[in-house]
Structure 1
Amino acid sequence: MQLAVLGSPIGQALSPVLHRAAFQALGLDWTYHAIDCTPDRLASFLGELDDTWAGLSLTMPLKQSVVPLLDRASDTVVRTGAANTIVVSDGQLIGENTDLYGMTQALSDAGVTTACGVTVLGAGATACTALAAAHELGCDRATVIARNAGRARQFLGPAAERIGVKVRITPWTTAPAHLEAELVISALPPGAADELAPLWKPAAGTLMDVLYRPWPTPLAQAAATAGRRVIGGLPMLVHQAARQVELQTKCPRPPYEDMLTAASAAVHQLDTTT
């Protein structure tokens, strides 16, 4: 069987490393590719899949644009409006969002199982996942700090309603007032949150930064210095990939530790060669 991760740009995606490590540990002679694919090419690519395909992973900018192309979608996909996983079964494309599983598992591993106050930095597909994670942690109200508040309201407003979280979307300039939340989740691309690093004040709480490279980010480093518990993006990435492996291979115990070891080695190699 074959699988692939689709997105653009795709050059440094870790998904091939993670899934190939899983297949090796499970004794599966399966292949996994990285394919550059933009939203305008996605429908034609999906239409050409045959019965040699077990599934796909989806990264930016495809997580939202893939949803209307699915034959079936999980409740998590419907609520968040984003899918990062496709399982090919009996000719149908079944969509799932394992990012939510990855985020909640990474938080749980670090001891975060509840949260009353949550601040989300960013307003894209990962921010929707962060709102769903907040809901899983028992939080019914969250603040979203958006670089484009108007666009965020159009996208995140309906998603928050489906998820069941009341959300307050505020401009980027208000970020300093909301960094003292019990849990802050940064769902921003590299460099986007760097300017917030000097704004942390000494306090308890947790920062989850979904980035894993470069690590630590200036935001994470400053939060740790200010006394926050800090969770990086690599455990989330590996947990979500392990859940993909479980869904796509039907193996009930994906080899998380093998995948984490492979991912850590790959990140270290990238850091030492760039």
Structure 2
Amino acid sequence: MRLCIIGHPISHSMSPSIYGRFFEAMNIDATYEAVDIDPNEFSTKIVSIIQDFDGFNVTIPFKERIVPHIVSQVEPPLLAVNCIFQGRGYNTDWIGFGKPLQRRPIEEPVMIIGAGGAARAVVFYLKRAGVKNIQIVNRTLSRAEKIKEEFEVSGNLEVNVFPLESIREVAAKSKSIVNASSLGINGEDTGITAEELSGKSLVYDLIYWKTPLIESSRRCEVKTVLDGRHMLLHQAMENLRIWGVPSGESFEKTFWEVMK
């Protein structure tokens, strides 16, 4: 089986190391590579990717752009696709995000930083989990407003949107914070200070290494602090299930060996 991950940039992805070591340890006849696609060439390159690979993952900035090229199995209004198998598209982000939260209370309001495909997956899970009050902070307000419009349609959810400049003000009024943006991937500070983090119930940064937000949250003794490794683990296990590859404890062991 030939598998890959596509995105831009893609050199930071740990997925080839994780899956590669697992396939080798379990003597599974499969390969997994990283393919960087220039966004300007996506429409032409994606055709050969679909033809040449049995399955693949999709990351920034193609989770929504991939949809017209495959048969989407994703329930609206999620839209974003991050896992493909035999021409069919799935979203394993919301499952990966939600698994670590299943036995943890989610206090509201929940502030989400970002309004891309990952943010959509977060809102999708939170709505299914019964959360009713979400605050989205994003550089481009129109993207956040689109999420608000699409997710509020069926009721039982209030979504408010704010510009990134309001991040401290919104954080101060929230009980839980989720960073679903790339802010912090290169060590950038979100602007959220210890004053806003004090008394928070949850900080969940989807970037899977230590970010200033994660480190500050731990110093401020936020009750539950999660980084993106937890999401990546459960997302990966769901990917393997879709691809028909058994995982279980053996995969978890390999995952943490690579990601520690």
| TM-score, structure 1 as length reference | 0.82
Match of 2:181 in 1: 188
Q: Is the 8 A contact 1:115 1:138 kept in 2?
A: no
Q: 2:230 aligns with which of 221, 229, 235?
A: 235
Q: Is the 8 A contact 1:84 1:96 kept in 2?
A: yes
Q: Is the 8 A contact 2:194 2:220 kept in 1?
A: no
Per-residue deviation, residues 49-80 of structure 1 (Å, max 9, x unmatched): 577732001111111100111123222xx322
Q: 2:91 aligns with which of 97, 108, 111?
A: 97
CA RMSD, aligned part only? Answer: 2.5
Q: Distance in 1 between matches of 2:205 and 2:41?
A: 31
The residue matched to 2:193 in structure 1 has which SS?
Answer: helix
Task: Choose 253-262 or 222-231, whichever is displaced more.
Answer: 253-262
Q: Which aligned pairs between 1:194-273 and structure 2 lie closer than 5 A?
A: 194-213=190-209, 215=210, 217-228=211-222, 229-251=224-246, 253=248, 255-265=250-260
Distance 1:12 1:171, change over 3 A: closer
Q: Distance in 2 between matches of 1:163 and 1:73?
A: 20
Letter of the structure 2 residue corresponding to residue 59 of structure 1: T
Match of 1:80 in 2: 78
Structure 1 position 146, deviation (Å): 1.6
Structure 1 position 58 matched with structure 2 position 78: no
Q: Distance in 2 between matches of 1:46 and 1:72?
A: 15
Q: 1:128 aligns with which of 108, 120, 124?
A: 120
Q: Distance in 1 between matches of 2:39 and 2:215?
A: 35
Distance 1:113 1:205, change over 3 A: closer
Match of 1:176 in 2: 168
Matched pairs, number = 254
Q: Is the 8 A contact 1:81 1:159 kept in 2?
A: no
Q: Distance in 2 between matches of 1:203 and 1:171?
A: 24
Match of 2:22 in 1: 22
Q: Which runs of 5+ in 2 are unaligned?
A: none
Per-residue deviation, residues 237-263 of structure 1 (Å, max 9, x unmatched): 121112111111253747441342243
Structure 1 position 207, deviation (Å): 0.3
% same residue: 23
Q: Distance in 1 between matches of 2:153 and 2:36?
A: 31
Q: Distance in 2 between matches of 1:50 and 1:188?
A: 27
Q: Distance in 1 between matches of 2:124 and 2:105?
A: 14
Letter of the structure 2 residue corresponding to residue 146 of structure 1: N
Q: Distance in 2 between matches of 1:163 and 1:8?
A: 34
Distance 1:146 1:249, change over 3 A: same
Q: Which aligned pairs between 1:151-162 and structure 2 lie closer than 5 A?
A: 151-153=143-145, 155-161=146-152
| TM-score, structure 2 as length reference | 0.86
Match of 2:134 in 1: 142
Letter of the structure 2 residue corresponding to residue 263 of structure 1: V
